[in-house]
Amino acid sequence: QGVAVSGFAEMGFFGATDVDTQFHTDIDVTFTMSGETDNGLTFGASIDLDESDGDPSPAFDGDTQGGETIFLSGNFGTITMGDTDGALDWAVTEVLFNSGSIVDNEEHIGYNGNAGHDGSLGNSDGQVLRYDYSFGDFGVAVSAEQIPGVGADAGDDTAFGIGFRYGLDLGGSSINLGLGYQGSDIADVLALSANGSFGGGFTAGLSYMNFDVDGGGAGDYDHVGIGVGYTTGAISLHANYGVYDYDGGGDDEGFGLTAGYDLGGGAVIQFGYGYNDPDGADSFDTYSLGVAMSF
Amino acid sequence: QGVAVSGFAEMGFFGATDVDTQFHTDIDVTFTMSGETDNGLTFGASIDLDESDGDPSPAFDGDTQGGETIFLSGNFGTITMGDTDGALDWAVTEVLFNSGSIVDNEEHIGYNGNAGHDGSLGNSDGQVLRYDYSFGDFGVAVSAEQIPGVGADAGDDTAFGIGFRYGLDLGGSSINLGLGYQGSDIADVLALSANGSFGGGFTAGLSYMNFDVDGGGAGDYDHVGIGVGYTTGAISLHANYGVYDYDGGGDDEGFGLTAGYDLGGGAVIQFGYGYNDPDGADSFDTYSLGVAMSF
Amino acid sequence: QGVAVSGFAEMGFFGATDVDTQFHTDIDVTFTMSGETDNGLTFGASIDLDESDGDPSPAFDGDTQGGETIFLSGNFGTITMGDTDGALDWAVTEVLFNSGSIVDNEEHIGYNGNAGHDGSLGNSDGQVLRYDYSFGDFGVAVSAEQIPGVGADAGDDTAFGIGFRYGLDLGGSSINLGLGYQGSDIADVLALSANGSFGGGFTAGLSYMNFDVDGGGAGDYDHVGIGVGYTTGAISLHANYGVYDYDGGGDDEGFGLTAGYDLGGGAVIQFGYGYNDPDGADSFDTYSLGVAMSF
């Protein structure tokens, strides 16, 4: 009960095709709050120091989201509000594994974080309300996000979502499946994922998303992502590939590689590489090398 | 001695007449610093995370106030600087009781927080210096706030204040009286309050303010506020009424209701309602329901 | 290991020639992170609450510096990135001693903090990479800072630095010497310092800098600073003098005085005075009096 303070920092170098290698320094402080009611409900909230940025920061404005999350949890399930995943993103797992890199090279132009509607459509600010409940190997979530109308006489809209998770423990290996849907007057999004951890330090995952803008067409897309990871001792490796296949023709694709060496105590040396092949433009590389520190 | 970190979060819903019900999420982190000199003087300071907002935040600029307070206290009394009450606000008690609501519906258009001059007149930024001293049931404070001139050749001004508190313990019940005055070249403010807690969980309060702008007239007003509270077990209730009666005619009035249910451990369910009747405009309602959490 | 939270606050008064005496309130919170790898390397990072200012703050942008520092240290020496001294500033010691003052009056118009290139030339944002190593009484550092070109076709530039420190322990007294150089396509800076602490609470220091803008002339300068300090019991005193002697003629000079009284427990009463004599303009005084608190 109370407020726990944790920290994160990175230093290193990054660069890209036609971009000089530069210094990289980043830092953050996280405040994690937790409590329990007399009847055993748990509640909590979280915000980062960098989310107090802005003038003013949307974190401290009640009707917007600025990185804060707040939850209340009990036998009935968990209610979460704020900068939290909608039901689709909650259900569907990304294809990233292991250490990552200091400038997220693995999140190339063909990568999809599966956020779906969250905070990305219309006037949406990403302030999500989600209810989720788990029983045995199964989990379910529903979510809503209010989207104010863009024009003066535009009506308000709401993005509803529903998601399902299923986890299968095979003894030594495990398989996780996810299925999610979000819909609003703006777009419908359907996604699914499958990923597993296997013996010998191997992990692998696959995700698929269909994004269908109402009345749209050319901007609609199917996305496929696939990723693998391998860990041995202090070393962790990762590769992923992803492609956005647009209904109007053309695609954005890319792949990413990361390698990490765990120094222990919260410090990890991280290397990242990204290959980006945007539709109708020259491909380019990005890379980084540095140390990530957790406190 | 040192820095204590505490937190606060809210989630829920709010709305108003002709305004759709919306999600509400808010959060804050407070840093409370305390120390003691070799001779037993105590000193301290406080700032919130949301006060690091701004570009730049006035909190970190020496000649402005941005939410920080700093004090030094001993047998001689207490000196406080920064975002602290002037002597009037220090002496006079608001008519709010019990839990409040997540969007402060109880602070309707007819509500007066009794800030008087503090941070509201001319170029004032609310950076206050206050000295207060208590002996027995009696307390006294004096305060000053510097108000830079608005025009190029305008002289600087200072708002001085003086306030008195008296507390009467009747055994089971208690009565508190407050009287405060603030004056500057801009305006003179006089206010008084009486409030008490009685047996059976009842509290009640009354406040009065006369606000007299120098050379003004139509904007001058008398304000009256009255509030009551009742607490039984985990439940707390509150109602207040307030009215600004303008010398130029017309008034802004309203009332507010709150109900709270204490879940224990720092979590309280809060409902709020406000009725607002502005002068010469349509009245409107505001309401909210949510959970407030202290960590 | 983890995140330590410390605080700082000031309250008091300050003023200057032709400027009214004003209230002063300032506050800050510092987050100091530390960790250790399995092999005994130490690492850490630091950021202040006031550095989360800005919209957005450069602290949370990877390719800029906004007050954060990050380091990794071992037998090989220490690597530091972010808002840290370049090798020149690392090596050369300022002529300030003892308590300081709440608005830094001792840093008058003739004062030089010996930052050299750091964050001050061209598009430089002060994001520095420094390596330093100590052996016995001797220390050495090298540093680099990337300076993006100002114009569209301007090439990027880098400011390199090297610095040396030498400490001599004479038993009861100690002498420290520093020598630093920084160079880029924009300017070359050479500086040295000598300072010592002697018996009876006396300290004294001297610094010299030659600042040579490439292709410049009139703006080039030599700077000399000299300072003394004296401490007895709770009382500390300080005086310093400094002058910028411009190659184009004229100089900016000034002196500063501070007096401190340590109340214990982290609270210090501080008085400061600065005399400023800018080239070709009227001289002016600055002063302040207040309490500085460390938590």
Residue C147, chain A, CB below 8 Å: the answer is no
CA dihedral A81, A84, A87, A90 (to 10 degrees): -140
Tell me the per-residue pLDDT of C251-269, one tens digit each, with 9 for 90 and over: 999 999 999 999 999 999 9
The minimal CB distance from B53 to the residues A34, A55, A62 is found for: A55
Do residues A228 and A240 lie in contact, with contact meaning Cβ atoms separated by under 8 Å? yes
Residues 6+ apart with CB under 8 A from C147: C121, C122, C123, C124, C156, C157, C158, C159, C184, C186
Spatial distance between the Cα atoms of C4 and C38, rounded to a whole number of angstroms? 21
Contact A264, C38 (CB under 8 A): yes
Collapsed DSSP state (helix, strand, coil) of residue B248: coil
Q: Within an 8 Å CB–CB cutoff, is residue C16 touching chain B?
A: no
**Taking a C-beta distance cutoff of 8 angstroms, is the pair C203, C228 a contact?**
yes
In a mutational test of the A interface, the residue from C37, C123, C131 whose CB has the highest number of chain A CBs within 10 Å is C37
Q: Are strands A221-232 and A235-246 parallel, antiparallel or unpaired?
A: antiparallel
Strand runs labelled E in B152-234 = 157-169, 174-183, 187-197, 202-213, 221-232
Residue B192: CB atoms within 10 A of its CB come to 21
Collapsing DSSP to helix, strand or coil, B37 comes out as coil
Q: Nearest Cβ partner of A45 from B9, B14, B22?
A: B9
pLDDT of chain C, 295 residues: tens digit per residue: 799 999 999 999 999 998 889 999 999 999 999 999 999 999 999 999 988 877 788 888 888 888 899 999 999 999 999 999 999 999 999 999 998 999 999 999 999 999 998 887 777 888 999 999 999 999 999 999 998 876 655 667 899 999 999 999 988 899 999 999 999 988 999 999 999 999 899 999 999 999 998 887 777 999 999 999 999 999 999 999 999 999 988 999 999 999 999 999 999 999 999 999 999 999 999 999 999 999 9
Cβ separation A35–B293 shorter than 8 A:
yes
Looking at the DSSP bridge assignments, the partners of residue C199 are: none
For tokens 């250490």, what's the residue? A99
Could you check whether the bond before residue C148 is cis, i.e. omega within 30 degrees of 0?
no
How confident is residue A225, by pLDDT bands cut at 50, 70 and 90?
very high
**Spatial distance between the Cα atoms of B205 and B196, rounded to a whole number of angstroms:** 6
CB A190 within 8 A of CB A114: no
Is-contact B189 B213, C-beta < 8 A?
no
Distance from C-alpha of C219 to C-alpha of B235, rounded to nearest angstrom:
72
Question: Which residues touch C263 (CB under 8 Å, ≥6 apart)?
Answer: B37, B38, B39, B41, C234, C269, C291
Residues of A in contact with C126 (CB under 8 A): none
Q: How confident is the model at residue A155 (pLDDT cuts 50, 70, 90)?
A: low
Complex prediction ipTM:
0.94
Partners of A55 on chain C (C-beta within 8 Å) are 55
A59-85 burial, b at 16+ Cβ within 10 Å, e below that, comes to bbbbbbbbbbbbbbeeeebbbbbbbbb
Whether residue A11 and residue C72 make contact (CB cut-off 8 A), yes or no, is yes
- With contact defined as beta carbons under 8 Å apart, do C236 and C229 qualify? yes
Q: What is the pLDDT of residue A151?
A: 61
Cross-chain Cβ contact A2/B50 below 8 Å: no
Rounded Cα gap, residues A48 and C194, in angstroms? 43
Please tell me the predicted confidence (pLDDT) of residue B98: 92
Domains of chain B: 2-294 (2.40.160.10)
Give residue-wise pLDDT tens across range C23-67: 999 999 999 999 999 999 999 999 999 888 777 888 888 888 888
